[in-house]
C-alpha cells in the first residue's frame, strides 16, 4: 500500500530569507498516530501549512494518497482535515451548521447521516443546536475536530491540540484522538508536550531548525535512548566514595546520603548485580533502592541540544 503521506526533499525559505524547512523527507502510513515534536520556530507549522496548501513550497514534493499537492491540489486537499490551534469558525453559528457547511466547502454533497456520526463520535450530538460561542473550551475543541472531519478526510492534522488546556481536558482529548484512529483516520499532531507524544504516538518525529533530525517508533526510541537511574539511599552518610565504586560509575549525591548510577535500559548487562555486591563488600548499608526511568522529555532535550551544537 502506498503511504498516505509522502514528503520528499521539502524546502521552504520565507520572503525575508529565513530558511524554515531544509530538505525534509517523511512518509506516513495509513492508520498511524504520528507526533511531530520540536521547539518553538522549528518549522512544524510551516510543514503542516505546506501539506494543507496554505504555504507554498520552494522545493520537493508532497503526495497525499498518491495525489501531488501542487499538480492535483483539490484531490489532495480533500483528503486532509486540519484542526488549527485557534478557533477559526463563526462563533455564532450552531455546531450542526458549522460542521455541515464545512462539508460544502470541499464540494461534498450534503450528508446528514455523516454529520450525525461525526457529532456522535465526538460526544457533541446533544450540543448540535448550541451556538459555538456557548460551548466550554473542551467542547469548542471537539467542534473544531468535527468541522475538520466533515468532508471525510483520511488524514487529520492536529496543530497543538491541547495547548493551554488543563490536564483533565488533555486526557479527554487523547481519548477522542484514539477513538478517531479506530475509525481509520491517520493522525498527525504537533505538540510541545512531550508527555502527549509519549502517551499517544506510534511514531515520533523530532524537528529542529527546519530539519527532521529523527523519525522513529516511540517504543524503539525509548528503548534505544532510554536510561534508567538507580538511586541507593544509605543508612549513614558517606564522606567519600570508595575508589572501586567510583570506577564503576557510581556518583555520591550532595550530603552523602545517596548513591546514583545510570545505565542503559536497552543494554544486556546493567552492572547492578556487581554494584550491589561491591557496596556490601565496602560495608555500605542501604536504606532503600529505587529507579527512575528517563522520559521522552530527557531524550528530546538531549537530541535538540546535540543538533543545536
Enumerate binding residues for ligand ATP (CB under 6 A).
Answer: 14, 16, 18, 20, 38, 40-46
* Least Cβ distance, residue 58 to ligand ATP (angstroms): 13
First CA to last CA distance, the chain: 39
d(CA 298, CA 301): 5
Helices (H), 226-271: 243-247
CB nearer to ligand ATP: pick between 88 and 293 = 88
Residue (46 or 100) nearer to ligand ATP, CB = 46
**Nearest-approach distance from CB 37 to ligand ATP, in angstroms:** 10
Minimum gap (Å) between residue 11 Cβ and ligand ATP: 13
* Least distance to ligand ATP, CB of residue 9, Å: 17
Q: How far apart are CA 102 and CA 23, in angstroms?
A: 33
Smaller CB distance to ligand ATP: residue 44 or 114? 44
Residue 218: CA atoms inside 13 Å, Cβ hemisphere, count?
20
Closest contact distance (angstroms) between CB of 44 and ligand ATP is 4
Grid cell in block for residue 94: 450552531
Beta bridge partners of 8: 61
- Distance separating alpha carbons of residues 187 and 215, to the nearest angstrom: 15
Residue 45 — φ and ψ, nearest 5°?
-65, -35
Nearer to ligand ATP, 14 or 73 (CB): 14
Q: Which is nearer to ligand ATP, 70 or 211 (CB)?
A: 211
Q: Report how far residue 259's alpha carbon sits from residue 250's, in angstroms, rounded to the nearest whole number.
A: 6
Looking at the Cβ atoms of 20 and 28, the one nearer to ligand ATP is 20
Shortest Cβ distance from residue 192 to ligand ATP (Å)? 6
Alpha carbon of residue 123 to chain centroid: 24
Residue 3 sits at φ, ψ, to 5 deg, of: -65, 150
Cβ-based nearer residue to ligand ATP, 128 or 170: 170
DSSP 8-state symbol, 286: E
Q: How far is the CB of 293 from ligand ATP (least distance, A)?
A: 27
Q: Which residue has the cell 513550497?
A: 57
Amino acid at each position: 500500500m502506498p503511504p498516505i503521506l509522502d514528503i520528499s526533499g521539502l524546502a521552504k525559505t520565507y520572503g525575508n530569507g529565513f530558511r524554515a524547512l531544509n530538505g525534509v523527507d517523511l512518509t506516513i502510513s495509513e492508520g498511524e498516530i504520528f507526533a511531530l515534536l520540536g521547539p518553538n520556530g522549528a518549522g512544524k507549522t510551516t510543514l503542516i501549512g505546506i501539506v494543507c496548501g496554505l504555504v507554498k513550497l520552494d522545493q520537493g514534493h508532497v503526495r497525499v494518497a498518491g495525489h501531488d499537492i501542487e499538480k492535483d491540489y483539490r484531490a489532495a486537499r480533500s483528503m486532509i482535515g486540519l484542526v488549527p490551534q485557534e478557533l477559526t469558525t463563526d462563533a455564532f453559528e450552531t455546531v450542526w451548521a458549522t460542521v455541515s457547511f464545512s462539508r460544502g466547502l470541499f464540494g461534498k454533497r450534503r450528508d446528514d447521516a455523516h454529520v450525525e456520526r461525526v457529532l456522535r463520535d465526538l460526544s457533541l450530538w446533544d450540543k448540535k443546536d448550541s451556538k459555538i460561542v456557548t460551548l466550554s473550551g473542551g467542547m469548542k475543541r471537539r467542534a473544531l475536530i468535527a468541522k475538520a472531519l466533515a468532508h471525510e478526510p483520511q488524514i487529520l492534522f492536529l496543530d497543538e491540540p491541547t495547548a493551554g488546556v488543563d490536564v483533565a481536558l488533555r486526557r479527554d482529548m487523547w481519548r477522542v484522538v484514539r477513538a478517531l484512529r479506530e475509525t481509520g483516520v491517520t493522525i498527525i499532531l504537533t505538540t510541545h508536550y512531550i508527555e502527549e507524544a509519549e502517551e499517544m504516538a506510534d511514531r515520533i518525529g523530532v524537528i529542529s531548525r527546519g530539519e527532521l533530525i529523527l523519525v522513529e517508533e516511540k517504543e524503539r526510541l525509548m528503548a534505544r535512548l532510554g536510561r534508567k537511574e538507580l538511586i541507593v539511599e544509605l543508612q549513614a552518610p558517606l564522606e567519600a566514595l570508595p575508589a572501586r565504586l567510583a570506577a564503576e560509575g557510581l556518583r555520591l549525591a550532595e550530603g552523602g546520603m545517596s548513591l546514583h548510577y545510570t545505565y542503559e535500559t536497552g543494554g544486556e548487562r546493567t552492572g547492578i548485580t556487581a554494584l550491589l555486591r561491591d557496596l556490601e563488600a565496602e560495608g555500605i548499608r542501604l536504606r532503600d533502592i529505587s529507579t527512575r526511568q528517563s522520559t521522552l522529555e530527557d531524550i528530546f532535550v538531549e537530541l535538540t541540544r546535540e543538533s543545536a551544537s
